[in-house]
Amino acid sequence: MRRSALVVLAVLTSLSVNAQQQTATSVVGDRRVSVTLTFSGQELFLHGQTPPGTRSVVAVMEGPGAGGVRLMEKGRVALFWMGVRQYRLIGVPGLYLVDASCPECNGMRACPHGSEIEAANKLFAPLGFVVGKDDISARAELEGLSGALAAGELARIVDGFWTLQADRGLYGVHQNTIRINPEGKFYHRLTLPTEAPEGRYSVTTYFLAADRLVATETSELFVRKSGLVAWLSRLAERRAFLYGILCVGIAIAAGWLAGTLFKRGGGH
């Protein structure tokens, strides 16, 4: 009986170890980010353990949207460039950044491969989702504010919107940024840009084999305004008139100060 009990205990221990080895983990180093007057962006450390069979890792950080984004398209009217079309884009996140590993380069050198996201999307598509610009296109709704929409207009506007957000550091796809060590641990840095919106963020990590999605892990983080930035933001939302007066007062004071300093400098 004692020998049988030891055998059972050994089997249970082995199963427990195997279960722990199969568990994928993904952890964000800083779960709370404070946006102050001097905030200029922040790097967030993402790390964890890949389950057996993982060939590559894709991480998607998504920030809160504003409900609807108003866009204006400019065009030439006679001799002038002016707004010719207006749109409202609905259902898009305020921040959308995709990072991926490269099994060949593994973050160690410049990567000539640019197809890892495409390969991942081939595995994701049968599951009903994709990542990257195609994900934004699938989720976005476009409303024409100055007339009916033409065929293919949604794709064109989403392309332009993606470019605008990418220039601000809010959207992007980055290849070969996640590194996986021989023990199966992965790590990389997510970049939170200066203009990151306030609210709850999700970081979804996908662990991929060559032919299937092995596991998915989701972490959360919170971006909150604090100090003077938070006070000004609340004032703008709740007391727009007072906020406008304050802005005008600051502008007048800055102009007066600049004029005074210029006169003094010219007098010397």
Question: pLDDT tens for residues 101-159?
Answer: 998 888 888 888 777 899 999 999 999 999 999 999 999 998 887 778 888 888 999 99
Average pLDDT over residues 84-93: 88
Nearest to 120 by CA among 188, 177, 175, 61: 175
- Tell whether 232 and 102 lie within a shared domain: no
How many helices (DSSP H) and strands (DSSP E) are in the chain?
6, 12
The predicted structure's pLDDT at residue 92: 94
Residue 203 C-alpha from the chain's centroid: 8
- Residue 60: pLDDT band (50, 70, 90) is very high
The domain tally of the chain equals: 2
From CA 259, how far away is CA 257, in angstroms rounded?
5
Do 191 and 239 fall into the same domain? Answer: no
Q: Mark whether 74 and 60 lie in a shared domain.
A: yes
Helix (H, G, I), strand (E, B) or coil at 47: strand
Q: Are residues 239 and 168 in the same domain?
A: no
Same domain, 130 and 240: no
Contact, 209 vs 123, CB < 8 A?
no
Q: For strands 171-180 and 185-192, give the pairing.
A: antiparallel
